[in-house]
């Protein structure tokens, strides 16, 4: 059954009525029967069966007014059917008590019902079938129009076609519509449940991967860091101590990144994005990458906007990797080009863009072939892991742009 009542708004005790027509299809379906009945009424007047006196004019006025009221039939189906039945009772009483005084004398072989009764009977059966008053009104219209105390075959068959058949048709279509809606709701519910099961399975797989990485990789790297530290303490020559210290520092950095990655894997992507992270800090320093590129002849213009204080370390490292990979590709594929790095920190987003101009020389074939060709693919997977998006595309002037949008904060659970 369609909802014919108003919905409660956020304001207390404030109710608003829905629109008469929720879709254009409902508007067309409501206007169409009104237009057809108006045409029939005009044809009936033009046929000359309706007298031109005051009674005939009043009769046609009432008929047209009831037809126009069908435009609100979805909102007030019972009230509309009650009005049709009441008008039929008045017509019957006037024709028996004071025939011809107010309305014209009707032909006794025809049902004395307004033209709009058929649509009203259909509507009340289709949209209010569970209200006993609906069927009481339909039966009352049948009795008044058919006049069983003075039976006439034409009148009885006419009232059945005008009232009973539309009511049964409305009942059938209403049940069918509700059944289709129930099936549609069941399918949507099954789809939601399937989606939830898939999300649960994905979360379990993420947790399993995080556990395996923690048990295997982090333990091995931790052992390497400890051994490198011990080597730095026991070594006698400075070169060995320096190499051991570099190895220990690289291992510590790998453990930090691995810890962030494990935290992302263990975190529910749909969790609370406003949970606080005590390790939030500033964006990693990109000046080293800029100096490195400029030292090999690639001018880099670095622009940073906004406050980086609320950016998660895992997001900072991801942005660092994007800039490093983009500048590496400039050195490989865009010989003689300059690069522009634009980093903007928003309230909850980090926008990163690396754009290079068109190359002026042919790239070094050996340098181009030195890569694996999967750098951007790896970046895309890493960016998606922290809930961001990345787009890499050539420009019309021959340059190339890498554009990424990252969430400023990505919750992690360390373990």
pLDDT digits (tens, 9 = 90+) for 346-364: 778 889 999 999 888 877 6
Query: Mean pLDDT for the chain?
Result: 76
* CA angle, residues 231, 234, 236, in degrees to nearest 5: 105
Per residue in 309-337, pLDDT (tens digit) is: 777 777 888 888 888 888 888 888 888 88
Percent of the chain with pLDDT over 90: 4
Cβ(141)–Cβ(117) below 8 Å: yes
Cβ(357)–Cβ(399) below 8 Å: yes
Predicted model pTM: 0.44
More confident residue, 1 or 246: 246
Structure tokens that stand for 113 in this block: 């019902």
- Give the CB-side neighbour count of residue 185, counting CA atoms within 13 A: 6
Mean predicted confidence (pLDDT) in 364-375 = 61
- Distance CA(273)–CA(270), nearest Å, equals 8
Task: Kindly report the three-state secondary structure assignment for every residue of 204-260.
Answer: HHHHHHHHHHHHHHHHHHHHHHHHHHHHHHHCCCHHHHHHHHHHHHHHHHHHHHHHH
Per residue in 100-135, pLDDT (tens digit) is: 655 665 666 667 778 788 888 888 888 888 888 888
R_g (Cα) of the chain, nearest Å: 40
Report the relative pairing of strands 7-8 and 400-407 from DSSP bridges. unpaired
pLDDT at residue 262 greater than cutoff 80:
no
> For tokens 């369609």, what's the residue?
2
Cβ(203)–Cβ(211) below 8 Å: no
* CA angle, residues 279, 282, 288, in degrees to nearest 5: 125
Phi, psi (rounded to 5 degrees) for 273 = -75, -5
pLDDT at residue 4 greater than cutoff 70:
no
- Distance CA(273)–CA(269), nearest Å, equals 9
Per residue in 71-101, pLDDT (tens digit) is: 888 888 888 888 888 888 888 877 777 766 5
In this prediction, residue 270 carries a pLDDT of: 46
Cβ(352)–Cβ(303) below 8 Å: no
Mean predicted confidence (pLDDT) in 126-146 = 82
Structure tokens that stand for 415 in this block: 């373990």
| Cβ-count burial 159-168 (b if 16+ within 10 Å, e if not) | beebbbebbe
DSSP string, 345-376: E-SSEEEEEEEE---SSPPPHHHHHTS-S-HH
Outline where 69-164 has alpha helix (H): 77-97, 117-127, 132-146, 153-159
Q: At what angle do helices 313-333 and 287-295 cross, to 10 degrees?
A: 10
In this prediction, residue 105 carries a pLDDT of: 59
In this prediction, residue 246 carries a pLDDT of: 83
Mean predicted confidence (pLDDT) in 382-404 = 87
pLDDT at residue 278 greater than cutoff 60:
no
Cβ(332)–Cβ(368) below 8 Å: yes
Report the relative pairing of strands 339-345 and 349-356 from DSSP bridges. antiparallel
In this prediction, residue 282 carries a pLDDT of: 44
Mean predicted confidence (pLDDT) in 223-249 = 81
């Amino acid at each position: 059954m369609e909802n014919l009542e108003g919905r409660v708004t956020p304001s207390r005790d404030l109710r608003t009525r829905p629109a008469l027509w929720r879709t254009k299809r409902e508007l067309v379906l409501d206007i169409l029967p009104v237009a057809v009945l108006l045409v029939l009424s005009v044809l009936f007047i033009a046929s000359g069966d309706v007298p031109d006196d005051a009674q005939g004019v009043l009769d046609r006025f009432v008929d047209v007014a009831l037809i126009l009221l069908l435009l609100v039939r979805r909102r007030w189906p019972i009230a509309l059917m009650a009005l049709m039945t009441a008008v039929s009772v008045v017509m019957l009483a006037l024709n028996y008590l004071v025939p011809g005084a107010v309305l014209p004398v009707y032909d006794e072989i025809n049902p004395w019902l307004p033209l709009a009764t058929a649509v009203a009977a259909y509507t009340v059966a289709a949209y209010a079938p569970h209200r006993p008053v609906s069927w009481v009104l339909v039966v009352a219209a049948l009795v008044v129009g058919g006049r069983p105390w003075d039976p006439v075959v034409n009148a009885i068959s006419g009232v059945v076609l005008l009232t009973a058949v539309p009511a049964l048709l409305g009942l059938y279509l209403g049940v069918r519509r509700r059944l289709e809606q129930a099936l549609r709701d069941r399918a949507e519910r099954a789809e939601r449940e399937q989606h939830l099961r898939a999300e649960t399975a994905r979360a379990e797989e993420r947790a399993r991967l995080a556990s395996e990485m923690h048990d295997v990789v982090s333990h091995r790297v931790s052992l390497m860091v400890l051994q490198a530290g011990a080597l730095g303490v026991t070594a006698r020559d400075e070169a060995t101590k320096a190499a051991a210290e570099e190895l220990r520092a690289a291992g510590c950095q790998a453990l930090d990144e691995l810890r962030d990655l494990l935290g992302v894997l263990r975190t529910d992507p749909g969790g609370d994005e406003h949970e606080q992270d005590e390790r939030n800090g500033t964006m990693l320093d990109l000046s080293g990458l800029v100096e490195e590129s400029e030292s090999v002849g690639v001018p880099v213009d670095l622009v940073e906007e906004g406050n980086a204080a609320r950016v998660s370390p895992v997001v900072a490292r991801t942005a660092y990797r994007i800039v490093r990979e983009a500048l590496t590709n400039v050195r490989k594929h865009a010989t003689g080009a300059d690069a522009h790095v634009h980093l903007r920190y928003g309230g909850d987003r980090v926008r990163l863009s690396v754009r290079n101009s068109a190359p002026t020389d042919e790239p070094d074939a050996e340098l181009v072939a030195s890569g694996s060709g999967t750098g951007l693919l790896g970046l895309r997977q890493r960016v998606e892991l922290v809930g961001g998006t990345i787009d890499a595309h050539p420009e019309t002037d021959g340059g190339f742009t890498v554009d990424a949008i990252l969430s400023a904060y990505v919750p992690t659970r360390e373990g």
